[in-house]
Amino acid sequence: MSTPDRHPKPDSIAGVLANLRRVPRRVRRESREVIEAAVTQLFEVVVRHPGGSAASREYRVDDLARMAGTTTRNVRVYRDRDLLPPPRRVGRIALFNDTHLTRLRLITSMLDRGYTIAHVKEMIGAWEQGKDLGDILGLESALAGTWTTERPQAMPRAEAERLIDDPPALRRLVQLGVIRLDGPDGSQVTITRPKLIEAFNEIRGYGITVDKLIDLYEQTLPHIDAISQLLVRAGAEHVLERVQPGAPLPADTEIAELIGMLVRFRTQAVASVTATLASSIESTIESMVAGLLAESLLR
HEC string of 196-260 equals HHHHHHHHHCCCCCHHHHHHHHHHHHHHHHHHHHHHHHHHHHHHHHHCCCCCCCCCHHHHHHHHH
- The answer to whether position 109 is within a domain reads yes
Q: In this model, does residue 31 exceed pLDDT 60?
A: yes
Q: Backbone phi, then psi, for 223, in 5-degree steps?
A: -70, -40
- The answer to whether position 202 is within a domain reads yes
Same domain as 125, residue 72: yes
Same domain as 104, residue 190: no
Mean pLDDT computed over 161-181: 94
3-state helix, strand, coil in the chain (%, to 5): 65, 5, 25
More confidently predicted of 149 and 285: 285
Q: Backbone phi, then psi, for 191, in 5-degree steps?
A: -85, 110
Task: Choose the final residue of a domain: 111, 142, 173.
Answer: 142
Q: What is the pLDDT of residue 253?
A: 66
Tally the residues of the chain: 299
Q: What is the pLDDT of residue 148?
A: 56
Same domain as 69, residue 43: yes
- The answer to whether position 4 is within a domain reads no
- The answer to whether position 11 is within a domain reads no
Same domain as 158, residue 86: no
We report the CATH number of the domain holding residue 81 as 1.10.1660.10
Residue span of the structural domain in which 247 resides = 243-298
Tell me the pLDDT tens digit for each residue of 184-193: 888 899 999 9
Question: Which percentage of the chain shows pLDDT scores above 90?
Answer: 25
| Number of folded domains that form the chain | 3
Tell me the pLDDT tens digit for each residue of 103-154: 888 788 778 767 788 878 877 776 666 554 444 444 443 333 445 566 788 9
Mean pLDDT computed over 268-279: 79
Q: In this model, does residue 155 exceed pLDDT 90?
A: yes
Which of 40-49, 136-145, 252-261, 265-274 shows the lowest per-residue confidence on average (mean pLDDT)?
Answer: 136-145
d(CA 190, CA 157): 9
- The answer to whether position 7 is within a domain reads no
More confidently predicted of 46 and 203: 203
More confidently predicted of 270 and 204: 204
- The answer to whether position 237 is within a domain reads no
Q: What is the pLDDT of residue 163?
A: 93
- The answer to whether position 135 is within a domain reads yes
Q: Backbone phi, then psi, for 39, in 5-degree steps?
A: -60, -45
- The answer to whether position 174 is within a domain reads yes
